[in-house]
Amino acid sequence: MLIYKFKRGLAITLFFILSACTLNNIQKIENITTDYNTKAIKTFSIGFQQISERYIIETKMDQLIVRGLRGLKAIDQGFTINLTNNGFKIILNSEIQSDYFFPTSDNYSKWAELVVRVISLLKKQSNLFKNTPIEQFYEIIFDSILSELDTHSRYNNARTAQANNKRRSGFGGIGVQFKPVKTGVKIIRILSKTPADKLGLIAGDIITFANKQTLTGMSVTAVKNIFRDEVGSILDIKVLRQEKNKVNSLKFKTYNFSIKREQIVEPTINYSSKKGIIYIKLLGFNNKTSEHLRLIIRKLLSRFQKKLNQSPKGIILDLRDNSGGILTEAVAVADLFLNNGKIISTKGRNISSYHNYKSIVKDITNGLPLIVLINGKSASASEIVAVALQDNKRAIVIGSSSFGKGTVQTIIKLPNGGEIILTWSRFQSPLGYYIDKLGVYPTICTSKYKLNEPINYIKNAIKKPKPLPNLLKFWKDTTYNRQRKIKQLRNFCPAAENLNKMDTNLAETLLLDPILYRKLNLTLHL
């Protein structure tokens, strides 16, 4: 009997000992050596390290990790994390699953291993987690962390990251813009020096088949997916082209083409000229924007010289609705209009975020009168261009207060093919003030008052020269407590999200009257 009780007691004791070991040290016995988990550890490790070391302000790893893991409640509502003195408890459906202990703050691989151990446990204990792909864990954990930092930091999965890279750097394509029609897609524009241009495709051609697939009834996105592929790959297309026959009647003729895809960077510039004025609309900033803009300006200046034997009256640079893009391209665009001076500075917590960008090329327009249009959707890179030209007294800025996106994001590539877009610095204007949340203040505001004629805005600015320059000085005062007064300041010229016709009318009025332009420019730049 005593032996039985002893054995029974020993069994119970061992049970609780083993249970405790399993409960408190489950992370030690979980198998995380699979390729699947090894890749996950690498992905989390790099992500955590970059966030910790490069984010614009200092972060705490334990807070980041707990915040990220708590986001998993979106998968299973029965999942909870309770903090302990040196770690946390995992609770699933009111039952404690395991204790986990925080590693040292800079041991990023251990933090990543910890997260993967939690994921492994949850996959074993919950069908909801079991059926969740690892990519969804990346998205939830990184998004939960980054969303608490700021609105511009985010995680992109591999597919989105690839699409973003193509938008920034280009993609394998043939160089056509098109619209769906009944028989396929109709070419509406051929991009210069692209495979389609070299082959002799023309606007109006209808592509009916691509790689033996009919394009009839396909969405624009579906057609793009067919047209775009690896650089150097071949696209076979069937084209209907309307041509005149011998009796001068129009008929469609069928052609077959094989086109080798090349790197295509979508244009970000629309331009025109009328009344002796050059109009340039910048839609965004990719890695070819400044190069394309340089070529366009030179072409237009040459055209004016050859046809009219004169220079244009000025340039309208429209940055309204331009949400930004590549910082260095914004710097290069501003530099096209400057002879010297500071363009922008960036500064963050990480020393590698410190940069001072200065003008290094000569003004290719040779000082032509310049007006920049902005609105409440002008953000980031477009604000860099506007403030650089304004602070260097190179342009008159017309419109409303800009968006106020004065931070710089860096792109962190991850082993899973995804990427983290991380805020790591703020940019300062040439005069030294931060525009984040504040924006760029236009030299002539069109959103505060609704006046009938452009000249009334101009007369108002010239008649009362002191208030506006003083306001601009107040706006740019680096010692002013802007955190408390940003809203008040922006009320002087509320951000407008529409394309106000008055902006363009004002710009035209000024450029068609050089004396008025110079007078206003001197008044506002006192």
For residues 219 and 302, state if they share a domain: no
Q: What is the model's pLDDT at position 97?
A: 85
Tokens read off for 479: 């010692």
In a domain, 420, yes or no: no
Q: Residue 423 class from Cβ within 10 Å (0-12 exposed, 13-18 middle, 19+ buried)? A: buried
DSSP H or E segment with residue 510:
helix 501-511
Residue 157, in any domain of the structure: no
Question: How high is the pLDDT of residue 361?
Answer: 87
Give the model confidence (pLDDT) of 462-506 as tens digits: 665 455 556 667 777 755 556 667 877 888 889 999 999 999 999
Of 264, 287, 313, at which residue does a domain stop?
264
Which residue has better confidence, 406 or 484? 406
What is the reported pLDDT for 524? 62
Instruction: List Cβ neighbours of 114 (8 Å cut-off, separation of 6 or more).
Output: 27, 65, 100, 102, 103
In a domain, 164, yes or no: no
Q: Which domain holds residue 216?
A: 171-264
**In this structure, is residue 2 part of a structural domain?**
no
- Give the residue from 220, 238, 264 where a domain finishes: 264
User: Can you tell me the mean pLDDT for 57-80?
Assistant: 94
* 211/260 same-domain check: yes
pLDDT at residue 13, as a whole number: 39
Whether 140 and 225 map to the same domain: the answer is no
Q: Give pLDDT tens digits for 430-460.
A: 988 888 989 998 988 899 878 888 888 887 7
In this structure, is residue 387 part of a structural domain?
A: yes
- Is the pLDDT at 420 greater than 60? The verdict is yes
Is residue 455 one of the residues assigned to a domain? yes
- Secondary structure class of 281 (helix, strand, coil): strand
Residues 114 and 145 in one domain: yes
Contact criterion met (CB below 8 Å) for 324 and 405? yes
What does the block give as tokens for 356? 């001072």
pLDDT of residue 343: 97
For residue 350, tell me if it sits in a domain. Answer: no
Is the domain of 331 the same as that of 466? Answer: yes
Instruction: Kindly state whether residues 459 and 337 are assigned to the same domain.
Output: yes
Mean of pLDDT over the chain: 86
Buried b (16+ CB within 10 A) or exposed e, 321-358: bbebbbbebbbbbbbbbbeebbbbbbbbeeeebebebe
pLDDT on residue 452: 82
201 and 273, same domain (yes or no):
no
What's the total number of domains in the chain?
3
Rounded to the nearest 10°, the torsion over CA 363, 290, 372, 383 is: -120
Kindly report the backbone phi and psi dihedral angles of residue 298, in degrees, each rounded to the nearest multiple of 5, phi listed first.
Answer: -65, -40
Cβ atoms 216, 184 nearer than 8 A = yes
Q: In the listed set 205, 234, 264, which residue is the last one of a domain according to the structure?
A: 264
d(CA 263, CA 249): 39
Q: From CA 514, how far away is CA 39, in angstroms rounded?
A: 64
Q: Do 238 and 387 fall into the same domain?
A: no
Determine phi and psi for 126, rounding to 5 degrees.
-140, 130
**Cross-strand bridge partners of residue 487:** none
| Least confident span in 20-34, 79-93, 509-523 | 20-34
Residue 195: give its domain's CATH number.
Answer: 2.30.42.10
Q: Most distant CA pair in the chain: distance in Å? A: 118
pLDDT at 468: 57
Amino acid of residue 193: K
Select the more confidently predicted residue: 54 or 460.
Answer: 54
Strands 171-173 and 176-181: unpaired
CATH number for the domain spanning 298: value is 3.30.750.24
221 has pLDDT over 60: yes
Residue 352 pLDDT > 60, yes or no?
yes
Q: Where are the alpha helices (DSSP H) in 287-441?
A: 289-308, 327-335, 381-391
| Confidence band of 18 (pLDDT split at 50, 70, 90) | very low
Is it the case that residue 526 has pLDDT exceeding 80? no
**What's the confidence (pLDDT) of residue 212?**
92
Nearest to 438 by CA among 487, 497, 501: 487
Non-local CB neighbours of 232 within 8 Å, separated by 6+ positions: 172, 260, 261
Q: Is the pLDDT of residue 93 over 60?
A: yes
SS3 338: coil
In this structure, the answer to whether residues 26 and 104 fall within a common structural domain is yes
Q: Flag whether 298 is in a domain.
A: yes
Residue 411 has pLDDT above 90, yes or no: yes
Quick: pLDDT tens for 140-180. Answer: 999 999 999 999 999 999 988 888 887 777 788 999 999 99
CA distance 387 to 427: 11
Residue 317's pLDDT is 98
Same domain, 121 and 194: no
Q: Are residues 215 and 300 in the same domain?
A: no
pLDDT mean over 415-421: 95
**Tokens 């082993």 correspond to what residue?**
415
Percent of residues, the chain, with pLDDT higher than 70: 88
What is the mean pLDDT of the segment spanning 125-129? 92
Same domain flag for 113 and 237: no
Whether 310 has a pLDDT exceeding 70, the answer reads yes
